Amino acid sequence: MDRRWMEIHQILRNLPPHLHIVITDCERIPENVCDKTILGWPKGADEQFRCVDRVHLHRYIGRGLGRTWCLAHRDYADPREDLLKHLAYDLLKIPVFCGKYDQQINDSAKKVCLAIRDIIGEKEFTRFFNARTTAEAMNRCVREVKQFSEIKLAPFKII
């Protein structure tokens, strides 16, 4: 990793998750620390990269600032390592989907699991938890989410 990317990486490591920074010259992204990915909402970006220390880059090629630039932030969890934790902590749609269950359900872990099921679909949800039924997948999801020390839903940020 060259000196400039080391400095950028250090800045991102010291920022709280989901606080975005703009990298104005983003032509070269170091391959030894970042992998091109399709995981994540593109936010209009031409390419996305997942990097070490849960860094997520959105690269915009030749538009917006008139040259190639990146929007970067750190996630609470890297989906390549822990998809469930990433969905529960980083996915900004989770609070919206959880909200529709506020009246009926008090259990925040169950609300998170219902929201994840709504977002990724029942079939994928059941497959992800290696279950035969949606009910079995829901039970496994709730158990896993409750293992997290504290459920922190990602805050909304308008950048």
pLDDT (tens, 9 = 90+) of the chain, 159 residues, equals 678 888 888 888 888 888 888 888 788 888 888 899 876 666 778 899 999 999 999 898 877 666 888 889 999 888 888 877 787 777 765 666 666 777 777 777 787 788 788 877 888 888 888 889 999 999 988 887 776 544 444 443 332
Which among 60, 58, 53 is positioned nearest to 15, based on CA atoms?
53
Identify the CA nearest to 94 among candidates 153, 17, 28, 159.
153
pLDDT at 17: 87
* pLDDT (0 to 100) of residue 156: 35
Q: Residue 55 has what pLDDT?
A: 92
Provide the 10 A C-beta neighbour count for residue 85. 18
CA 69, CA 27: separation in Å to the nearest integer?
7
What's the pTM? 0.63
Phi-psi region of 65 (alpha: psi -120 to 50; beta: other; left: phi over 0): alpha
Which amino acid is it at 61? I
